[in-house]
A and B are shown apart, each in its own frame.
Chain A
Amino acid sequence: MIKLEPEILQAVEKPARYTGHELNAVHKDWDEVDCHFALAMADTYEVGMSNLGLKILYEVLNNRQDTACERVYAPWTDMEAIMRDRSIPLFSLESFTEIKNFDFLGFTLQYEMIYSNILNMLDLAGIPIWTKDRNDEDTFIVGGGPTVYNTEPIADFFDFFILGEGEEVISEVAKTFVKWKREGKPGGRKGFLKEVAKLEGIYVPSFYNVKYNEKGYFSSIEPKEPEARDKIYKRVIRDLDSVHFVEKPVMPYIGIVHDRIMLELFRGCTRGCRFCQAGTSYRPIRERSREYLRELARKLVDSSGYNEMSLTSLSSADYSCLGELVDDLFADFEGEKVSFSLPSLRIDSFSIDLAHKMQQVRKSGLTFAPEAGTQRLRDVINKGVTEENLMTAVEAAFKQGWKQVKLYFMMGLPTETDEDIVGIARLAEKVARKYKEVKGKWGVTVTISVSCFVPKPHTPFQWFGQLPKDEFERRQRLLKDSITERAVKFHYHDARVSVLEGAISRGDRRISQVIYQAWKDGAKFDGWTDLFKEDVWHEAFRKCGIDMKEYSERTRDFDEPLPWEHTTPGVSKDFLKREWNKAVAEQLTEDCRRGKCSGCGVCPSLKVDIVDWKRKEGEVKANV
């Protein structure tokens, strides 16, 4: 058991990040269970504790009698320095046990910029960084989460990955482990990996051979063990009412990023934005029932004491019974001073009315995501929103008393021209002027937040070459110079980070070496702008003899094998190609939630169906 002396805790920022003992944390007797699972996020306590997926899996695993699940997050740099100095290994927050004593260490893979932190945590734990160096006694390193649809850049660090939704499969993994352990661990480490590889949705990277062609591009990946599948499909929950959701969240003593209840209404979003990886990877739409959500809301308020609840989903306003659900919740929590919020709004007046109802008096600010500055480009990305939609929505908002609007855009989308960039400024200015028109005076702030587009695997834009950093920066300046209205404020993302993300997210296994090198040379917390070390990363690519731009800026051929195609969310390549062609032709694709099936392939290949409570029976059937 690790015990931190007071002088250590007095010396670090936010010591409660490391002291555990939170309400609802689960403490089990180490010797009473067969399977010890540490769930990790390679980011700070405040970020890790806010992750819904981890909260769910924590309860699912702890609901098993044979398993104890504990938490661990990345120590901040001040704490890390002390830990290294005094040889304190990474420990869990429940029993303060060394992480290397756990059977599993599972990382949620939220975005590529935490990869260096993963290596850092393995190192702090004293676990060999490379899979090949681990022996029978070592912890199994597991990954799951959003970036799992291209795990190749980190494949050599992980024993296996879980693709897709984890509620069911994580329990199957624990069960498989317990059985293997009770049988005397036949076949050792590899023996277990062979067993776990038989489960649907599990990818064991060391069971494959990767080949590259004469140009150095990825050419194939082939199973070398009988248990390894050619293609691994993600796991998907068919009926969300039937699986466990968070009921007793671990309650932090200190403020965390999302310090409120998160009630997940549904999974999936089929609006079909062509840049969006979440849009392709969480298909199809599956809603929880209104009754179940009501029940969960009650349990969560009672077990947490929170007075704020966020109704989360990829596009919460699309929940078919949202109006009714909000009425239910208002009635259920009358007099309990619980406030509700929607994290994302649709650009229409239904959303504004609902936001108005939910926020009652306090009007903090509204956020919309038109994503592109001109109609042409919005059609390219299949963002089915018109300028008129936006104007109607903001008009309604201003009438209701909002004074702050935030607009999200992306820069560097396929086919983008300077006209589209200037279009962002024009659109924001129109919004600002709409306020004057409605209110007869100035007094609005329109903030435009512009990120740099990163093409992602398993999206229609997966072949597209990302812009070079200098070009992003030129467009950022162009946009800045195009804004003439004082009411418009401009924020943009760090292009240096986006191009690195671009290289890693479409990387192959050779990128592992680069990540390792960068970590060795001091890269960590790369997602934190002030800690991001651009030089270290460029130097790491150079040292490994890898051209970063080959990965970020190169436009791939349609018939070129891609290093991520064997780990798939079920969306077919044909569909992605079709969508690319429609993008270039500026044609829209309908949302399959109520409209016709666009033949993405998910429903038939995963044997799953849309669950939308207001869709008429038999209206849509997946047709591929």
Chain B
Amino acid sequence: MYKYRAQLTKGDEIRYISHLDYAGVMERAIRRAKLPAAYTEGFNPHLKMSFASPLSLGVTSDAEYMDFELTKPLCQPEIFDKLSAALPPGIRLIKLKPVKEPKPCEGKKHKALMAEVEQGIYEVVAPLIGDWDVAVKAVERYNAASEVNYHRVTPKKTRDIEVKQYMIEPVKIGMSGDWVKLTMNISITQTGSIKPAEILELLYNEYGLPVALGRALINRCKLMGQGKDLIDLV
């Protein structure tokens, strides 16, 4: 088997499709691309593919990662072109690299893509409704706080999460036109993380960030492990 890693986008057009649907869309794209894809065994064969950290509904991304396997080694440009041509609106292929499996004598296998993820960088934009100074102050106070709790409610359970433990860097604030631009550098661990939308909610509710929350847009800019983009880990 020959394994490849693709860096893909999730554009505005498909912001509202779930992670599972995104996977289904990619499966059909690979089939349309007529690549010699490898399938799982069994009654209901599926393409051998895996994804990194799932995105929340409504979030776009420049850093979706997918590993997939082919039964024949094709050269990178051929795969790149065929797959690119088969992608639907809203998905672009940015980079593609073969995954070098460590030699058997080295004793270890490549980590699962999901397990390589340690860090995500997000950009949040929202229309400013009020004073720029107030916005800056809100972010400063959030950054200065030593502990911030987020009350997460899911259909199954509710719990409090300490947020600051996941902040790799302070939230940065900038402006583009009338929009506030926030950059969040968040750590993603095996045991948990915090979502950019949740940080935004805290900033709005508890620190008085003056933005139109309902029009906020979130984009994942990078997904990293060991300080590098996931595409550079192969």
User: What residues of chain A have their CB less than 8 Å away from a CB belonging to chain B?
Assistant: 5-7, 9-10, 15-16, 19-23, 251, 253-255, 301-307, 336-337, 360-362
B168 CB within 8 Å of chain A: no
Q: B167 within 8 Å of A by Cβ?
A: no
Contact A337 B43 (CB under 8 A): no
Specify the chain A residue showing the minimal Cβ separation from B44.
A362
Q: Which residues of B contact A255 (CB under 8 A)?
A: 21, 24
Q: Does B217 sit at the interface, judged by CB under 8 A?
A: yes
A22 to chain B, nearest CB (A): 7
Determine whether the beta carbon of A253 is less than 8 Å from that of B57: no
A-B complex: 5 closest residue pairs judged by Cβ atoms: A7-B214, A305-B28, A23-B88, A15-B16, A21-B13
Contacts of A307 in B (CB 8 A): 31
Q: Is B29 an interface residue (CB 8 A)?
A: yes
Question: 1/0 per residue B7-19: CB within 8 Å of A?
Answer: 0000001111110
Pick the residue among B16, B34, B39 that contacts A9 (CB under 8 A): B16
Asked whether A253 and B14 contact (CB < 8 A) given A6-B214, A10-B57, the answer is yes
A301–B34 alpha-carbon span in the complex (Å): 10
From known contacts A6-B215, A21-B13, A305-B31, infer whether A253 and B21 are also in contact, taking CB-CB under 8 Å: yes
Q: Which of A7, A301, A304, A362 has the most CB of B within 10 A?
A: A7
Q: Using A6-B217, A16-B17, A305-B28 as known contacts, say yes or no to A23 and B89 having CB atoms under 8 A apart.
A: yes
> Known contacts being A16-B16, A305-B31, is A251 close to B44, with CB within 8 Å?
no
Q: Does B227 contact A (CB under 8 A)?
A: no
Nearest chain A CB to B182 CB, angstrom units: 15
Additional pairs, 11, CB under 8 Å, beyond known A253-B14, A337-B45:
A9-B16, A10-B214, A19-B16, A21-B88, A251-B28, A253-B25, A305-B30, A305-B32, A305-B86, A337-B39, A360-B43
Interface of chain B residues 84 through 106 with chain A (CB within 8 A): 86, 88-90
By the criterion of a CB under 8 Å from any partner CB, how many residues of chain B are at the interface?
31
Residues of B within 8 A of A303 (CB): 32
CB distance from A404 to the nearest CB of B (A): 15
Interface residues of B (CB under 8 A from A): 13-18, 21, 24-25, 27-32, 34, 39, 43-45, 57-58, 86, 88-90, 213-217
Q: Known contacts A6-B214, A304-B32; decide if A362 and B16 are in contact (CB<8 Å).
A: no
A58–B28 CA distance with the chains assembled, in angstroms: 22
Q: How far, in whole Å, are A19 and B43 apart by their CA atoms in the complex?
A: 34
Complex contact B214–A5 (CB within 8 A): yes
A contact residues around B57 at 8 Å (CB): 10, 15
Q: Which of B18, B21, B90, B214 contacts A21 (CB 8 A)?
A: B90
Residues of the A chain whose Cβ atoms lie less than 8 Å from the Cβ of B31: 301, 305-307, 336
- Expressed in whole angstroms, the minimum distance between the Cβ of B84 and any Cβ of chain A is 13
Which chain A residue shows the least CB distance to B33? A305
How distant is the Cα of A543 from the Cα of B230 in the complex, in angstroms? Answer: 67
Tell me, in angstroms, the Cα distance from A303 to B29 when the chains sit together: 10
Question: Given A6-B58, A6-B215, A305-B28, A19 and B21 touching (CB < 8 A)?
Answer: no
